[in-house]
Amino acid sequence: MSFFDSTPLGRVLSRVSSDLSIVDLDVPFAFMFSLGASLNAYINLVVLAIVTWQVLFVSIPMIVLAIRLQGYYLASAKELMRINGTTKSALANHLGESISGAIKIRAFEEEDRFFANNLDLVDKNASPYFYNFAATEWLILCLEIMSIVVLSFSAFVMALLPRGTFRP
């Protein structure tokens, strides 16, 4: 039995359309953004390390913590995207079958039932997307809190240092 015989049409269409959309639209921009951001971060870290090597005592633990947070986030995000793909294929399958059987649906006056079923599938598809967005916002919040802690601690230490420690 071939793949296309055993796999519902909605799942195949959903998978192909989303994969092509990601390859065409998201990958080039994400690659350029990540390359630019990485180069910017590495150059800034090198310049800071040359000017004041003590910054490495703060930077290295923060980088390790940020990488661990990102790893924790990625595990959840991958699973949520997988669930989103599954619910999207069910929605596309239902839509395709409804369109192909529209005459029969109207003949038996089942429009309301199919409409309610479609709304239910749309809601099920929107939930994982919302949770994925919430997980992304959680990662951003954690990284911002981490930055605030470092900035506040640095300002506190600078305030406690004796006058004349730094020359303008």
pLDDT tens-digit profile, the chain (168 residues): 577 777 777 667 666 676 777 777 888 898 999 999 999 999 999 998 898 888 888 889 999 999 999 999 999 999 998 898 888 888 888 988 899 999 999 999 999 999 999 999 999 999 998 999 999 999 999 999 999 999 998 889 888 888 877 775
Q: Where do the domains of the chain lie, and which CATH numbers do they carry?
A: 3-160 (1.20.1560.10)
* Helix axes of 27-51 and 55-100: crossing angle, nearest 10 degrees: 170
> Smallest Cα–Cα separation from 125: which of 10, 4, 5, 2?
10
pLDDT at 168: 58
Against a cut of 0.75, is the pTM above it?
Answer: no
Kindly tell me the burial class for residue 168, based on how many C-beta atoms sit within 10 Å of its own C-beta (0-12, 13-18, 19 or more).
exposed
**Predicted pLDDT of residue 32:** 95
Predicted confidence at residue 126, as pLDDT, reads: 92
